[in-house]
Structure 1
Amino acid sequence: MNPNTNQPNDPTNARQTLKTYGWSAHWQHQIESFPREAGLVPARVIAQYSHQYRIIAEDGERSAEVSGKFQYDAASRGDFPAVGDWVLVQPLAGEARAIIHAVLPRRSAMMRKAAGPSVHEQIIGANIDTLFVVCALNDDFNLRKIERYLIAAWDSGASPVVLLTKADLCDEVEARIAAVEASAPGVPVHAVSALQGQGIEQLVGYLTPGGTIAVTGSSGVGKSTLLNSLAGGDRMRVQGIRESDARGRHTTTHRELFPIPGGAVMMDTPGMRELALWEAEDGLQEAFADIEALAADCRFRDCRHEGESGCAVRQAADEGALDAKRLASYRKTSRELAHLARKENSASKRQQKTASKRAAAPRSRGPVAWEE
């Protein structure tokens, strides 16, 4: 944005501007086959502030909001744009703003249940290729928390990578790497120290030109320091942690997408105290692939791995071949997802009633706004 004119910057190469943020032949094909009105152009959502967005379009950065028709037609929060989405927008002549009319089909989307008692999904990020799941090696180290993030990662369609930060503050790095590898079959695990520059070279292979890498984890795990190291500068504001409990304060307050040297695009996300899963049955199966493989040998197809006769999973745990804590985590998460599915089914029925009434009502009722 040109601060002197408050107008979008003049592009020297329009397509190169979008390519910097991940535009590819895939998205070119998507837009060519997507039905659209004349005058709409592609853009990517690079930041979100409640119902306001910042996008990168052919003529540079603009602020944006969805059209009234988009709001009216949206059936759920998941229909709204999220950081990382490719959208079709109408630039407003003479202004640094645009109106979002459509979201192109997503290649991946990391989701969680929105905070609060209501049953709604919240998209953490869209069109992510690689997801860095970050956990500190200090007192905040928690295998069960890593498992939850991996469930969401696998369910999103992105490829997860576990990064164990603050390796310089841990005396048992190798043992903890081994523990994570046992709880994350097939997932790459790296120990790093961004402050010391330790292990950062292991991550270069993931930073492919045009690829989108998201970084997620709890507060205080060193995400901002890691991002600054990968971006080659002090881009993200960093806050300290409380030494009493190794907990950090939220440094990032919103999701944001930005290019880094080498051609990759990074997505930062606010730290989360707790990750409430959303429709993650597929992710559960991937994250606990070892238990799913054992379950194939259970006597009963609907075995819950509690006390049923002929349970291969229970037998493996009794014999020490399967960590009892990991099995307990699997059971707890399975119950959680089943409970959420029941609540969602009830909420869906109520929503269908509301949608039917809205469809029968005059159009003049106006758009529906979905709160974060």
Structure 2
Amino acid sequence: MAAHPRARPARVVEQHRAGYVVADATDHVFDVESPPQWQRPPGYRRGKVAPEARAVVGDWVLVEDGRIVALLPRRNALKRAAAGEHYRQQLIAANVDVALVVCGLDGDFNPRRIERYLLLARAEEVEPVVVLTKADLPGADPDAARAALASVLDQGVPVLAVNACDPAAADALAPWLRPGTTAVLVGSSGAGKSTLTNTLLGQARMKTGQVRERDARGRHTTTYRALVPLPSGACLIDTPGMRELKPTGEEALDDGFADIEALAAVCRFRDCRHQAEPGCAVRAAVEAGDLDPGRLANYHKLQDEVARAADRLAQRRGGIPPGREGGGRPR
């Protein structure tokens, strides 16, 4: 603030290629330019600013004369690793309290993908809530979905089944949308995020679309992230659908797989890989029907992905990945 005495704080409510839309009051929203150093083309190396050093929706910035002059410190930033050969982080939203993980009770329902969202949310100390939409569709079975998410429920993550078009959905989500709270909607295209946003707003503000019958996939009706104030006094960030969720390497698997980590602690061998080793408590739980084999397979997959991402992140920073100081794999 001392370096920009004439600047005023504002929050980013939309992010576009040509600039940003910010708000310094609920009813005062305006366009601003980004700093010149944020406008470098992708192949420009000299003075290039990393994507995570630029403002995203939910960030607080200082604005002066129609331009952002500074990015204020973040409390957190929900993010994933971007697709591509080179390591790069893609920020989804900043300064978030709650992540509403939206998944439809149709062909979109995927417990393994939900586990990925929960892992990314917990890495930034964002409270996750699973919202199962389309509970009104013929054939929808919320009880069966909750059974498939038993391990998620056991870890205290709320799982709600709603009709995103019904105003009752706003009542169901009210405990997580209190005044001053910022929530972000994440999920696949066609899951019902924009429909749910309209219901929470009490008006049809966000564009919605139909899903394809053959695979329950939706079109990208939301093409950019947007923060909107809700009648409850909370702020809600709607995001485009995400089909790929790659970890950044900063996640801790024990946050999302506490059940497996607890079992691993009593395996006979400390470096047990939970494959075919004798005395493996994790495999014993699978064989006894106490642990979903699909969840264990996802745990192994994410373990490898997080380790690879941590290596790439460490190489980028010129350091040693956490847990690798002795040369072994993290447990």
Provide the rounded CA distance (Å) in 2 between the counterparts of 1:124 and 1:196: 27
Offset at residue 70 of structure 1 (A): 6.7
Per-residue CA distance 1:226-264 (angstroms, 9 max, x = gap) = 111011010111111111211110110000101011211
* Corresponding residue SS for 1:333: helix
Whose helix fraction is larger, Structure 1's or Structure 2's?
A: 1
In structure 2, the partner of 1:57 is: 24
Are 2:279 and 1:310 aligned?
yes
CA displacement at 1:194 relative to structure 2 = 1.9
- In structure 2, do the counterparts of structure 1 residues 168 and 187 end up closer, same or farther at CA, with 3 Å as the change threshold? same
Q: Does 1:119 pair with 2:93?
A: no
CA distance in 1, matches of 2:243, 2:173: 25
Indicate conservation of the 8 Å contact 2:254/2:261, yes or no: yes
Q: What is the match of residue 28 of structure 1?
A: none
Instruction: Give the counterpart letter for 1:87 in structure 2.
Output: V
Whole-angstrom distance in 2 between the partners of 1:57 and 1:306? 55
CA–CA distance in structure 2, aligned partners of residues 266 and 281 of structure 1: 24
Letter of the 1:275 counterpart: L
> In the alignment, which of 237, 261, 268 is matched to residue 292 of structure 1?
261
2:132 pairs with 1:158: no
CA radius of gyration, larger in: 1
Kept in 1, the 8 Å contact 2:59–2:72? The answer is yes
Say whether the 8 Å CA contact 1:46–1:258 is kept in structure 2: yes
TM-align CA RMSD:
2.2
How far is the alpha carbon of 1:50 from its aligned partner? 2.5
Q: How many Å apart are 1:343 and its aligned residue?
A: 2.5
What is residue 81 of structure 1 aligned with on the other side? Answer: 55
Determine which of 340, 350, 357 is the counterpart of 2:309.
Answer: 340
Partner of 2:77: 109
Letter in 2 for 1:150: L
| 1:136–1:166 CA contact under 8 A, matched in 2 | yes
Whether 2:190 is the aligned partner of 1:220: answer: yes
In the alignment, the residues of structure 1 paired with residue 262 and residue 70 of structure 2 have an alpha-carbon distance, to the nearest angstrom, of: 41
State the shift of 1:198 in Å.
Answer: 5.1
Aligned-pair CA distance for 1:115: 2.7
- AA aligned opposite 1:52: G
How big is the shift at 1:274?
1.7
Q: Report matched runs for 1:322-333 at 5 Å.
A: 322-333=291-302
TM-superposed CA distance for 1:280, in Å, is: 4.0
Contact 1:181 1:189 in 2 (8 A): no
Q: Is the 8 A contact 2:105 2:140 kept in 1?
A: no
Deviation of residue 349 (structure 1)? 4.1
Cα distance in 1 for partners of 2:47, 2:272 equals 42
User: Which residue in the other structure is 2:328 paired with?
Assistant: none
Q: Identity across aligned pairs (percent)?
A: 47
Note the residue ranges of structure 1 that are not aligned, 5 or more in a row: 1-33, 351-372
1:143–1:183 Cα contact (<8 Å) kept: no
Cα 1:209–1:343 change in 2 (3 A) is: same
- TM-score with structure 2 length normalisation? 0.87
Which amino acid counterpart does residue 276 of structure 1 have in structure 2?
Answer: K
Give the SS at the match of 2:102: strand
Q: Answer yes or no: is 1:45 the counterpart of 2:12.
A: yes
Contact 1:218-1:274 within 8 A present in 2 as well: no
C-alpha distance in 2, partners of 1:319/1:103?
Answer: 52
CA contact (8 A) 2:249 2:313 kept: no
